[in-house]
Structure 1
Amino acid sequence: MAKRIFGFFLLAITTFTVLLGCCSATVHKVGDSDGWAPKEDDNWTDREEFHVGDSLVFEYDRNFNDVTQVSGGLEYEFCDSSFPKAVYNTGHDVVTLKEPGSYYFITSNHTQCTSGQRLDVLVTHDPSSPIPPPSPSKILPSGNIYKVGDSKRWSVYDSEFYYQWSKEKQFHVGDSLLFEYNNEVNDVFEISGDLEFLYCDPISPVAVHKTGHDLIKLTEPGIHYFISSEPGHCEAGLKLQVVVGPTPNVPKLSPLERLTRWLNSFTFNHH
């Protein structure tokens, strides 16, 4: 009987927490009454705060426009919709901001975009809300650790070296990259877009690593980009892109085993 009462009490607390989180999210209508339209020097984002769980509503004429989410600051600046992360074209698009970080939206109508129809928002965790623990799907298996550049480490100034190094390997979600280098003369910037990688642009990195012994876990499938931000280093060849596939089939783990692996992922012992 006591266990049943405790279970009901725990369920009630969980339900209340979920409802509270849902209700605290804010819906932002982009452009307010003007909707999704060209605007020069608009300060709409300056008047808003964006948190994880909030939503953006884009309203526009779908016969002339769309909403294209791009991956990086250069795609945003040059109105380049060649490699979109997502495209919305209903005329009433609701985009939920699920992760912290920078989000970039443009219209694929290049004339409209260069006239000011683009939006970048910085999303943060709501300080009044606790950060939820990861779901079981976010608890990754322990994969392989690849030492970038093998014995030559992260120090080769050759435009083909790291391309060939990456091409010869298969990376999966859960694997890790180990960058070793002299942190007095180098670093590792993880960047988000093709153009940033092509032009060695470190302005809007996803993450910055400077320890000289950086272990970076690959948590999402897709293409991951890494460069050195030191002047001239990336242009000389110190840049890496890796294609990450989904997690290979692994035996199913119990919730306790998944939690234990997740906790262990926070520690890395170098021998």
Structure 2
Amino acid sequence: MKKIFSFVFVIFTLLFGCCSATVYKVGDSDGWTAKDHLYYHWTEDKEIHVGDSLIFEYDHNLNDVTQVSGGLEYEFCDSSFPKAVYNTGHDVVTFTEPGSYYFITSNHTQCTSGQRLGVFVVHDPSSPSPLPLPSKIIPSRHVYKVGDSKSWGVYDSDFYYNWSKEKQFNVGDGLLFEYNNEVNGVYEISGDLEFLNCDPTSPIAVHKTGHDIIKLTKPGIHYFISSEPGHCGAGLKLQVVVGTTLNVPKLSPLERLTRWLDILRHH
């Protein structure tokens, strides 16, 4: 009888315990629109957890919701390389992982007028953290030693761009960073502008053992910079494109700088 009761309790928990997530309508009655400081004030009294959702409501003939990868793309209203684009007029975005999320409209004028939203998502303390995926689900493939025999150090500004551009990285591959951890480290960062400007203020992860193996578990662009700003500015930074169906161009540092200068000149 106790076993039956325990089984029923587990089923009840699975069916009803997962339904406590909160759904927020972005901007409340204002919806998704251009209004200075609206979304900053809208998020002030909210704590958003994994499992919660945002609803964006707007006229899809005139607008959209563009998710960008980092804080600088958010600040500059740059939608050149979006993580996702929503345009139904009633978009529901559910958060499955903790971290910082940034949403803008691709209409640059409206974005600079306030139509952009940044939220920080945390684990719900009342729910257990998800178990890590078994390693067999993401098979180990190839481990690349970054820089080959030269490892992770300061060389010419295009060294790591040239090192990575001919390689095909796939989900499951790994990167091995070797360096002197007394003078250096590896920051994994989220966005194109953070990479260009060697901005370490919001890293995804910090590695500093001197022998870091980083597994590439998701498709897309991954960015790594030196923990020392001077070293990063001298070219100690790496971007890799991991097995994705997106047609993502690999730009050299000079090409990236030219692109951003063009954006700033036009806006």
* Length-normalised TM-score, structure 1: 0.81
Q: Deviations over 1:193-220 (max 9, x none)?
A: 2222222222222211122221111101
Matched with 1:217 is 215
Matched with 2:102 is 104
Instruction: For 1:138 and 1:43, locate their aligned partners in 2 and report how far apart those are by CA, in whole Å.
Output: 44
After TM superposition, the structure 1 = structure 2 runs for residues 98-247 of structure 1, keeping only pairs within 5 Å, are 98-134=96-132, 139-245=137-243
Instruction: For 1:105 and 1:164, locate their aligned partners in 2 and report how far apart those are by CA, in whole Å.
Output: 32
After TM superposition, the structure 1 = structure 2 runs for residues 252-263 of structure 1, keeping only pairs within 5 Å, are none
Instruction: For 2:153 and 2:47, locate their aligned partners in 1 and report how far apart those are by CA, in whole Å.
Output: 41
Instruction: For 2:52 and 2:136, locate their aligned partners in 1 and report how far apart those are by CA, in whole Å.
Output: 21
Matched with 1:254 is none
- Displacement of 1:232 after TM fit? 2.0
Matched with 1:54 is 52
Q: 1:36 aligns with which of 32, 56, 60?
A: 32
Instruction: For 1:90 and 1:104, locate their aligned partners in 2 and report how far apart those are by CA, in whole Å.
Output: 18
Instruction: For 2:133 and 2:222, locate their aligned partners in 1 and report how far apart those are by CA, in whole Å.
Output: 23
Mind listing any 5+ residue stretches in structure 1 that lack a counterpart?
247-271
Q: 1:27 aligns with which of 20, 23, 27?
A: 23
CA contact (8 A) 1:58 1:92 kept: yes
Instruction: Give RMSD over aligned pairs.
Output: 2.3
Change in Cα spacing, 1:171 to 1:14, as seen in structure 2 (3 Å) is: farther
Instruction: For 1:136 and 1:11, locate their aligned partners in 2 and report how far apart those are by CA, in whole Å.
Output: 25
Q: Deviations over 1:39-65 (max 9, x none)?
A: 323321111111111100111222322
CA contact (8 A) 2:65 2:104 kept: yes
Instruction: For 2:153 and 2:173, locate their aligned partners in 1 and report how far apart those are by CA, in whole Å.
Output: 22
Instruction: For 1:196 and 1:243, locate their aligned partners in 2 and report how far apart those are by CA, in whole Å.
Output: 16
Once the two structures are aligned, what percentage of the paired residues are identical? 78
1:45 maps to 2:21: no
SS at match of 2:127: coil
The number of residues matched between the two structures is 242
| One-letter amino acid of the structure 2 residue matched with residue 64 of structure 1 | L
Mind listing any 5+ residue stretches in structure 2 that lack a counterpart?
245-267
Instruction: For 1:170 and 1:216, locate their aligned partners in 2 and report how far apart those are by CA, in whole Å.
Output: 16
CA contact (8 A) 2:35 2:113 kept: yes
Instruction: For 1:196 and 1:138, locate their aligned partners in 2 and report how far apart those are by CA, in whole Å.
Output: 33
Change in Cα spacing, 1:21 to 1:98, as seen in structure 2 (3 Å) is: farther
